[in-house]
Structure 1
Amino acid sequence: MRLSTLVASAAIALATAFPALADALTIYSPQGGERAAWIAEQAKAAGHDIKLLNAGGGELFDRLLAEKNNPQADVVLGMVDTSMALLKKEGLFQAYTPTWAKDLPTQFQDMDGMVYKFWQTPIVLAYYPDKLPVAEAPKSWLDLTKDQYAGKYVIGASAWQTTRMYLAGILVRFLDTSGEVSDEGWDFLSKLYAGAVVVNDADSQIEAFKSGRASIDLNWLGGTFKLAKDLGAKVKVVESDGGTPVISEGVAIMAGTDQLEQAKAFVDWFGSADVMAVYAEKFGQVPLLPEALAKSPVAVQENAKLVKPQPIDWDAIAPKLDGWLQKIELEIR
């Protein structure tokens, strides 16, 4: 899920569709680039005056906490399970049930009525068969520390949502009886980083594959397909032993907003089946609403069945993830 570069100041200001005296609805989201532009364009066409502040998921999370006593956002859109769970726990959100929420599968509804999920994203292990023959490809995330894969896979910045999620997916395989990562798990992660091409920005990530150094992609599904398209190469997704981390992204209204009615209207519009189906057609994302999925292209419906989800209790992981990432940054990376 690297959905943007870390540019916290980047914002898309739209021409107002409401009366001149009304303030634009400020939305914090890791949705960047073409996706941010699409959301802005569609929102404007639907009569929503928004200002979209885009940055990496980790940076936005920190910013939201820093602004807790003086919130600047009205809506948070597109952050992953763990981040949304922690922000809710900090009291940043208020209850609101979108008009479309009643049709969501139960596991994507929030029992507190604050955070509702709208699409899901597998965080995949993939490879390029023109560089790595099928018979030699990894069968699992745990295969990556084998000698033959050294220097062939890329680990992104820990501020990227995608990186955070696959690292979490790996570490939960090594939880001890107390729910903490075992020494074996940290040893594995040290070996994983030692054999990786470690990058901090999108250009370096792409260059690692263009140069021929890398042939294994650790990425969110849409990012894997986009990278393959940019490289003009075919990519194959691994049905990993032990499953594939699958995350969902949510939307919530900030407790401190002074534009509650505009925020409710935007959330009702954005998560609706029709908007999600159009988004799925445009970007290949898998919507969670059954009606939206049924309206999505066949390829998107097939992607919904592409991998077996890894069993992960994201709510249980959420309070621990920052500590894990801090240890990675200070002791391993």
Structure 2
Amino acid sequence: MHLTKRSALAALAAVMLSGTAMANTITVYTAYEEDEAAAFLEAAKKSLPDINVNLLRLSTGDLAARIIAEKANPQHDVLWGFAVTSMVNPEILEGLEAYQPVGLDQVPERFRDADGKWFAVTGYMAALCVNNERLQARGMTMPTSWADLTDPSFKGEVVMPNPASSGTGYIQINSLLQMMGEEKGWEFLDKLDQNVAQYIKSGSRPCNAASAGEYTVGASFALRAVKNIEEGYPITLVVPSEGAGNELEANALVAASKNKDAAKRFLDWTLSAEAANVYYDWKAIVTVPGGKMPERFTSAGLPDDVSQVLFPVDFKAAADDRSRIIQKWQEKYER
């Protein structure tokens, strides 16, 4: 079969266009919540209209398992909004390629990998939700710290997330053990446990229970408290004075990516001012400069600079120690 010069040129153009389309298509794996990911992706598409993003969203644990299962033949180009305590897993870290996106120098070193394999743009932090009406009715003093919750007046008035099922619960327990040292940390948790009415599987439900007046204090995460305050619940958001346990959500370039130019442009965008502004609609921790924390966050009780109240978590240790800590916690406290 012979092609005319015109048809040959047309066929060549089609192949070139197809190659361009493929080069500008990337697969992104994320653990962001569905509504968060949708909002962030919509903003990204406005800035990167020529890049087609195939997005797969799974919970952190499920996503980690998938990445490890696929490590011999990765199916994605970018990791986006993935928990650092999972990112540092050697089986995941070895599949990443060091990359320094535009604007990375403006992100504090504590929020990026020393070897350049990941950088965190968002995160969430522990906080206490205190029901003002129940507190006043029982003549109790507003707590300002974890230590305050061991006072006998709080017996049966505290609810917390179960660290075996809740990421928020684990960062709370792990940060206390890290800041106090394990021996004193477990002793403190023994005292705290005496005042805990129950451990709940969800990270948000303790705040909801306190908001509804079922208990005085719900240990939860900051953004849940902000949203409940916005909805009119009579609660105060308290960031524990010892420092807030936290988890960072990081981004990375996959070493096996066949679409690295587009993947790098996407990663560059995640550090842009446009990205920072949309992050602030959803996140208490934003490491990217250029955005502005909403007034509704600060009016609810968050400081202008949350980095000043974050406990400096050792994420590698948190990941390495997770199974051991959870097993011990279950043996001591689960009920």
Deviations 1:17-59 (A, max 9, x none): x976568533222211321220232233332322333333333
Paired letter, 1:259: N
SS at match of 1:28: strand
Asked if 1:98 corresponds to 2:104, the answer is: no
Tell me: CA distance 1:157–1:318, structure 2 relative to 1, closer, same or farther (3 Å).
Answer: closer
Q: Is the 8 A contact 1:29 1:76 kept in 2?
A: yes
Shift of the 74–323 alpha-carbon distance from structure 1 to 2, 3 Å rule, reads farther
**Which whole-Å CA distance do the structure 1 matches of 2:34 and 2:55 have between them?**
11
Give the partner amino acid of 1:287: V
Q: Distance in 1 between matches of 2:204 and 2:141?
A: 27
Q: In the TM superposition, what are the counterparts of 1:235-274 in structure 2 within 5 Å?
A: 235-274=235-274
Match runs of 1:66-85 below 5 Å: 66-85=69-88
Residue 130 of structure 1 aligns to a residue whose secondary structure is helix
Rounded Cα–Cα distance in structure 2 between residues aligned with 1:219 and 1:202: 6
In the alignment, residue 251 of structure 1 is paired with which amino acid?
N
Cα deviation code 1:217-243 (max 9, x no counterpart): 32222222123334x214323242422
Q: Is the 8 A contact 1:197 1:208 kept in 2?
A: no
Bigger Rg, structure 1 or 2 = 2
Aligned-residue sequence identity (percent) comes to: 23
Displacement after TM superposition at 1:116 (Å)? 1.1
Give the AA of the match of 1:158.
Answer: A
The answer on 1:36 being equivalent to 2:69 is no
Is 2:168 aligned against 1:165? Answer: no
Measured in 2, the distance between the counterparts of 1:243 and 1:312 equals 10
Letter in structure 2 aligned against 1:97: Q
Q: Which runs of 5+ in 2 are unaligned?
A: 1-18
What residue is the counterpart of 1:26 in the other structure?
27
State the Cα distance separating 1:287 from its structure 2 match. Answer: 2.5
Distance in 1 between residues matched to 2:257 and 2:149, nearest whole Å: 45
Query: CA 1:271–1:99 in structure 2 vs 1: closer, same or farther (change >3 Å)?
Result: same
- Say yes or no: does 1:289 pair with 2:295: no
Tell whether 2:282 aligns with 1:279. no
Does structure 2 retain, via aligned residues, the 8 Å contact 1:123–1:218? Answer: yes
Measured in 1, the distance between the counterparts of 2:175 and 2:319 equals 12
Q: Contact 1:154 / 1:199 at 8 angstroms: preserved in 2?
A: yes
Amino acid at match of 2:218: D
Q: Which residue number in structure 1 is paired with residue 160 of structure 2?
A: 154
Deviates more, 1:21-30 or 1:42-51: 21-30
- CA drift at 1:210: 6.3
Provide the aligned C-alpha RMSD in A.
Answer: 3.4
With 139-148 and 109-118 compared, the bigger mean Cα shift is at 139-148
CA spacing shift, 1:275–1:241, aligned 2, 3 Å = closer
Greater shift in the superposed pair: 166-175 or 140-149: 140-149
Aligned twin of 1:51: 54
* Separation of aligned partners in 2, 1:276 and 1:317: 27
For 2:251, the aligned partner's letter is V
After superposition, the Cα gap between the structure-2 partners of 1:86 and 1:239, relative to the gap in structure 1 and judged at 3 Å, is: same
Moved more, 206-215 or 90-99: 206-215
How far apart in 1 are the matches of 2:297 and 2:211? Answer: 27
Letter of the 1:258 counterpart: K
Asked if 1 retains the 8 angstrom alpha-carbon contact of 2:131 and 2:235, the reply is yes
Q: Which amino acid aligns with 2:44?
A: A
How many residues are treated as equivalent by the alignment? 307
Q: CA deviation at 1:101?
A: 0.4
Q: What does the per-residue CA deviation read over 1:141-170, in whole Å, with 9 as the maximum and x for residues that have no partner?
A: 244455524253231563433222112112
How far apart, CA to CA, are the structure 2 residues paired with 1:329 and 1:59?
22
